[in-house]
Amino acid sequence: MPASASITKRFEALTIWQRAGERAPHKPLLLLLALGLLSRGTTLVPFVEYEHKLADLLREFGPSRRTQHPEYPFLRLRNDGVWEVIRQHASIPGGDTIADLRKTGAAGRFPEPLRTAFDSDPRLIGRVARLLLDAHFPESLHQDILDAVGLSLAEGSSSARRRDPNFREGVLVAYQYRCALCGLDLRINNVTIGLEAAHIRWHQASGPDAIENGVALCSMHHKLFDLGAFTFEPLGRILVSERVSGTGPFEQVLLQHHGKQMSAPIRQEHHPRPEFVHWHRDEVFKEAARPN
């Protein structure tokens, strides 16, 4: 059996995380976080450095819980043969409480021979990530999770691309967690729903993961933006394509925004750069704009 096949088997064989219908996405989220780091060349996952990030992932993509326990997957994954925990301060005695993990400088990583396998086959990261997503999350969440852990999977294949996990967060903060078009700021409990950081110049077209190449849009407007149903001018005036049509809901969802101003980011330096806006107009927008 080729090494990579035996590796993916280990991830397929992970303990099933459902107890009486209860979701427990802890292990796959930690693994996806570690795969995102690995795709950017980081092998070691120090607990103190990533416990908050992991707790955030659990809050956003896991079931509603009063408290999050990032230490659970960090410790329990060891039993699945895909994770090892080393203590960076070996002289300090410590057990397996969250405080122990912190004070002993605990850090997790993929054990050998996984590290070597990932090293020698870069596509393996994508294959394992896809496997974990397919096994543990509905498709509608895949992209959000990949963004959050900084992984990018080429469509239909399994090659991982480098991605900046701070892009989404930075863009959403810049636009105050509201769709720049319709103002949607839906939340369930304290978690933003249906809001995305759209690249103006697409990632696939070498658009950078920079806030000035991003805009916060709800899922609907993100899709319409990527389809070129609308674009905007460098100063933020929205232009709806004359190719797009529909009846009542179309007016409500899109047409009413034509000629109006998009919400601006809080900071001047985060305004979309004209070169990216021009790229969108040229390469994506379905010309021509409707008359005013």
Residues interacting with Zn ion, by CB under 5 A? Answer: 179, 181-182, 184, 218, 221
Nearer to Zn ion, 37 or 198 (CB): 198
- Phi first, then psi, for residue 162 (nearest 5°) are -75, 140
Nearer to Zn ion, 163 or 221 (CB): 221
Nearest distance from residue 231's CB to Zn ion, in Å? Answer: 15
Nearest distance from residue 175's CB to Zn ion, in Å? Answer: 11
Nearest distance from residue 249's CB to Zn ion, in Å? Answer: 13
Contact, 220 vs 254, CB < 8 A? no
- 116: which strand partners? none
Nearer to Zn ion, 131 or 220 (CB): 220
In 39-162 the beta strands, taken as DSSP E runs, fall at 45-46, 84-87, 106-109, 151-153, 160-162
Nearer to Zn ion, 47 or 225 (CB): 225
- Phi first, then psi, for residue 28 (nearest 5°) are -60, -35
Nearest distance from residue 177's CB to Zn ion, in Å? Answer: 12
| Gap between the Cα atoms of 233 and 282, Å rounded | 12
Nearer to Zn ion, 104 or 241 (CB): 241
Nearest distance from residue 130's CB to Zn ion, in Å? Answer: 29
- 192: which strand partners? 187
- 231: which strand partners? 239
Contact, 289 vs 239, CB < 8 A? yes
